[in-house]
Amino acid sequence: MEMTAKELAAALGGTVEGDPEAKVSSFAKIEHGRPGQLCFFANPKYEKYVYTSKASVLLVNCDFEPKEKVTPTLVRVPDAYSAVAQLLKVMAERKRKYRVRRSLRSRIACSAKLGKQVWVGDFVTIGKKCRIGDRTHICDNVTIGEGTVIGKDCLIYPGVHIFPGMVIGDRVILHAGCIIGDDGFGNSRQSDGSWQKIEHLGNVIIGNDVEIGSNTTIDKAPMESTIIADGVRIDNLCQIAHNVVVGKNTAMAAQCGVAGSTKIGEGVIMGGQVGVVGHINIADGTTVCAKSAIIGNIRKSGQTLYGNPAIPNQTYLRAYAKFKKEGEE
């Protein structure tokens, strides 16, 4: 990629302050910027680097007022963080290999239907009656079970295992090693103390524009479906149990665990290592701080919760201040 500041401003709906012909060909963090590179400034704690950066172009918010001289050409945009995310997405798309490839070292069932410009890496297995949408890219060592449907423009990284009968929407990213549709942890205690396995005959349904992190597992349901709605972001090493419903645009950081049959609302944010018990509902717009535990229904939307068990954040902070004071006495 080589673009001028003027071209960047046009693409991002911004304005140029400085040399409109300043050229960039790569990205860098603001503290590492060099000539020919594009950096961005969105977090106030990095402001000191604005005045020392050697980058050619710096993306900043429209309302940024520098306190010292700035060397890079500035491109002012409404939201610098969103603007750089947009540019990175464009670059990633350019690197995608949109051409047909069918590795001779892969096994594709005759009844499977692959769309236009589908890329299939080495040692991939695609089962009977699968349907793969146009321009989907399937990396090496992926297993796609019989009857699975995958939409358009998906990216499936190496080592992903998708069990039979799963449904995956358009523009979904499945990172390396994630598992979609394994059996949930369903067992029935018998009178003699032994466990009887509960068979899982349902599936997992993943909506459009979803991203699932490496080594995350999403279990299929015994009956009906585990559902991941449109726009969800799930980080690495998370566990989503059987019959869970995750609402639109919810985000979970690494190592979250959600027990079976829980319904998570839309726009929920969970920090790392949050644990959620089964058979509860979490209201839309809830924010759960890292390492918290949700053990009951959250009925009021828009709350921020913290602690184990999780309580409203301000209540937790007041209680913590009291405990700390008593501990120091």
Q: In the 8-state DSSP scheme, what is residue 66? A: -
Report the C-alpha gap between 114 and 126 in whole angstroms.
10
Report the C-alpha gap between 79 and 82 in whole angstroms.
5
Report the C-alpha gap between 317 and 149 in whole angstroms.
47
Name 174's bridge partners.
Answer: 156, 212
104 burial via Cβ count (<10 Å: 0-12, 13-18, 19+): exposed
- Token pair of 225 as six digits: 């479906």
Element (H, E) at 316: helix 313-328
Task: Give Cβ neighbours of residue 269 (< 8 Å, ≥ 6 apart).
Answer: 250, 251, 286, 287, 288
| 324: three-class secondary structure by DSSP | helix
Catalytic-role residue among 137, 175, 200, 242: 242
Report the C-alpha gap between 284 and 149 in whole angstroms.
29
Instruction: Determine whether 242 is an active site residue.
Output: yes
Count how many Cα atoms sit within 13 Å of the Cα of residue 280 in the half-sphere of its side chain: 15
Q: In the 8-state DSSP scheme, what is residue 142? A: -
Which residues are tagged catalytic?
242
